Amino acid sequence: MKIGYDAKRIVRNATGLGNYGRTLINSLSAVDTTDELLLYAPDKGRDDLRSQVHARPNVRFRYPERAPLRIQRDLWRSHGIVNDLRSDGIDLFHGLSGELPWGIHEAGIPAVVTIHDLIFLRHPEYYHWLDVQIYKRKFYRTLCEASHIIAISECTKRDILAFSDYPESHISVIYQSAARHFAVAGKGAEGVEGCADTRLRRDLGPRYILQVGTIEERKNALESVEALAFLPNGLHLVLVGRQTAYTEQVLRYARNHGLEHRLHVLSNVGNDELPLLYRHAACFVYPSRYEGFGIPIIEAIQCGLPIVAATGSCLEEAGGPDSLYVSPDDARALATAIETMVDRANREEVVARSRDYIKRFENNDVAAQMCRVYQKIIS
């Protein structure tokens, strides 16, 4: 079977949707070597990201042949690509980031799309009004093109059903998995100690709690900073993620409340460094107000951390029954939960149970589930 994939995010996005695509392709190409996987990208993107796709005989990239300008290449992804899919004899196309090409249904090519979240519909206040209109148009048009939808959580599936009349029988929940290097770091593999480790731990305090993700209002880092006031002075907070205008609000709060020496904001942390930060944290916090799934929780558990996360979306699905969950509006409750996890006598037992729980998100299992959906659609 020839399967085409929208690979724009694979070659352009270092985190999030890019990680999802690269991890899935690497897993699929290893699980079923008989299928040919064609990755359709508007350009070659970043060499360091493209090289993360494992070089295997059944995987190859495909680029537009007559699109010298970037705007032409991006339009090809939405429009002209259908002609190339037909000429390449594609049996099935998978849109990995919530979009499908215009006219793919009319062209008779079965199409699967992964929907990661509908936050722009559930919480439009976190977006510019024009972006909401654009995302809505793309979403509802994609529903008209899709033969089947992959929702990355039960929460996302519920949102799809709440905001559309798409048939539930054509929606499958297939969780995403974390990149393998987080699991390797969590097992104490050779190479995680040494100079890089010393450099990363410099000035992060004797012990720290960790939060990973874009520092924006929805992810609610301010509550984590507020919780510091209720925690022992020796416990610091490390925020890892891209900074936005909201970051200044977080920093200003820390300065005004004498917490700035216990707050550390790190951006541009590489894939080789992030597992080290996870591994040496005392606890992972994720007070986000709404997520489609919450992959940093899986990464943290793989690296051996107990979890404290927010109620209200899908985070219980990611963290499982042995993590603790609190309101995203209660900093004192967050601090209490953090202290419970940090000082827990049975911490290792809790982490072990959480690791057992997240086995359902392992790469090969996710790939096998995806292959079954593909076969069902084709047959």
Q: Does the structure show a pLDDT above 90 at 344?
A: no
* In-domain check, residue 118: yes
Look-up of token digits 């909201």: 246
Say if residue 25 is in the same domain as residue 40: yes
Residue range 174-180: mean pLDDT, rounded? 83
Say if residue 246 is in the same domain as residue 369: no
Say if residue 278 is in the same domain as residue 332: yes
Is the Cβ–Cβ distance between 27 and 178 less than 8 Å? no
**pLDDT given at position 72:** 80
**pLDDT given at position 200:** 56
* In-domain check, residue 184: no
Residue 180: burial class (beta carbons within 10 Å; 0-12, 13-18, 19+): middle
- How far is CA 257 from each of CA 207, 240, 286, rounded to the nearest angstrom? 20, 21, 22
pTM of the model: 0.91
Say if residue 101 is in the same domain as residue 10: yes
Say if residue 134 is in the same domain as residue 279: no
Say if residue 128 is in the same domain as residue 231: no
Say if residue 124 is in the same domain as residue 206: no
Residue range 45-49: mean pLDDT, rounded? 94
Number of domains, the chain: 2
Helices 17-31 and 363-378 cross at an angle (nearest 10°) of 80
* In-domain check, residue 326: yes
- Which position has the higher pLDDT, 200 or 125? 125
Q: Average pLDDT over the chain, rounded to whole? A: 92
* In-domain check, residue 186: no
Euclidean distance between CA atoms 301 and 305, whole angstroms: 5
Q: How confident is the model at residue 185 (pLDDT cuts 50, 70, 90)?
A: low
* In-domain check, residue 160: yes
- Which position has the higher pLDDT, 205 or 76? 76
Q: Does the structure show a pLDDT above 50 at 190?
A: no
CATH of the domain at 43: 3.40.50.2000
Token pair of 179 as six digits? 């990149």
Q: Does the structure show a pLDDT above 60 at 132?
A: yes
Lowest mean pLDDT among 143-147, 190-194, 243-247: 190-194
Euclidean distance between CA atoms 260 and 272, whole angstroms: 27
Say if residue 352 is in the same domain as residue 373: no
**pLDDT given at position 133:** 98
- How far is CA 217 from each of CA 250, 254, 257, 277, rounded to the nearest angstrom? 9, 16, 19, 23
Q: How confident is the model at residue 194 (pLDDT cuts 50, 70, 90)?
A: very low
Say if residue 155 is in the same domain as residue 287: no
Q: How confident is the model at residue 379 (pLDDT cuts 50, 70, 90)?
A: confident
**pLDDT given at position 192:** 44
Say if residue 225 is in the same domain as residue 153: no
Say if residue 349 is in the same domain as residue 246: yes
* In-domain check, residue 257: yes
**Domain around 248:** 195-362
Say if residue 169 is in the same domain as residue 200: no
Euclidean distance between CA atoms 222 and 181, whole angstroms: 29
**pLDDT given at position 68:** 67
Residue range 322-330: mean pLDDT, rounded? 97
* In-domain check, residue 185: no
* In-domain check, residue 108: yes
Is the Cβ–Cβ distance between 56 and 33 less than 8 Å? yes
